[in-house]
Amino acid sequence: MENSLDRFSLLVGSEKLEILKNKKVLVVGLGGVGGYVVEGLVRSGISNLTLVDGDIVDFTNMNRQIIAFSDTVGLEKAIVMKKHCLSIFPSLAIDSKVLFLDKDNLDDVFDKEYDYVIDACDRLSTKKLLIDYCIHNQIPLISSMGTARKMDPSCLMICDIKKTSYDPLAREIRKYMKEHYPHDKLAVLSSVEVPRKVDSEELASCIFVPASAGLLIARYVILEFLNQ
């Protein structure tokens, strides 16, 4: 794996690459954002990952999700993502869990220590659960906010939850943090783009925003490790 990352090693140094290799990261949600998070982490030297998602690949994922192909439709995302990662670097230590994270299986997911937790899921209840667990156990966490109905990746930013705007999901998380953790910070990926109006109740989406969001999150976590 090290030889395959020579170009990245030139940027960060071989010693830093060794640090990344030994970090353990949990990614919850492997959709439009989460898939590119994992892609960015794996191609930047993270070799120990736990991937969590209970969903299957659907035809509606084809426009934006990195593991959505005609021959993966109907397969479990966590399994497909693991196979995808191992096709890049066969020596990776990948643990895939086919489940939707909730309070009943929380201990099964956190059956090991993690250096970072990345929330890329779209369920509000799961986001709150991860916030609670990570704050109480002092585990670094970054959470992705909404990317639907947006088309401009240049409007994405990583900031504290208090600085978000034009994001219905972030509004709910801001309220939750204010009520339960008023003195804590929460790093989030959010967009200041005003959501587009569409004539459908379905979540309109494109590849530009979730893919860019995933790579920005991956970059953020990599830099957090490198700057320790």
Say which CATH number the domain at 217 has: 3.40.50.720
Domain assignment present for 161: no
Range of the domain at 222: 3-147+206-226
Domain assignment present for 185: no
Q: What are phi and psi of 97, to 5 degrees?
A: -120, 115
Whole-model pTM: value is: 0.96
Domain assignment present for 200: no
Domain assignment present for 160: no
Domain assignment present for 169: no
Domain assignment present for 97: yes
| Residue corresponding to tokens 């992705």 | 144
**Per-residue pLDDT tens for 52-82?**
999 999 999 999 999 999 999 999 999 999 9
Q: Is the pLDDT confidence value at 85 over 80? A: yes
Kindly indicate the confidence band of residue 3, based on its pLDDT and cuts at 50, 70 and 90: low
Predicted confidence at residue 203, as pLDDT, reads 85
Domain assignment present for 216: yes
Task: Check: CB of residue 37 under 8 Å from CB of residue 27.
Answer: yes
Instruction: Spell out where the chain has E strands.
Output: 24-28, 48-52, 93-97, 116-119, 141-144, 156-160, 187-191
Sort 132 into a burial class: Cβ within 10 Å, 0-12 / 13-18 / 19+.
Answer: middle
Task: Check: CB of residue 149 under 8 Å from CB of residue 196.
Answer: yes
Domain assignment present for 172: no
Count of structural domains, the chain? 1
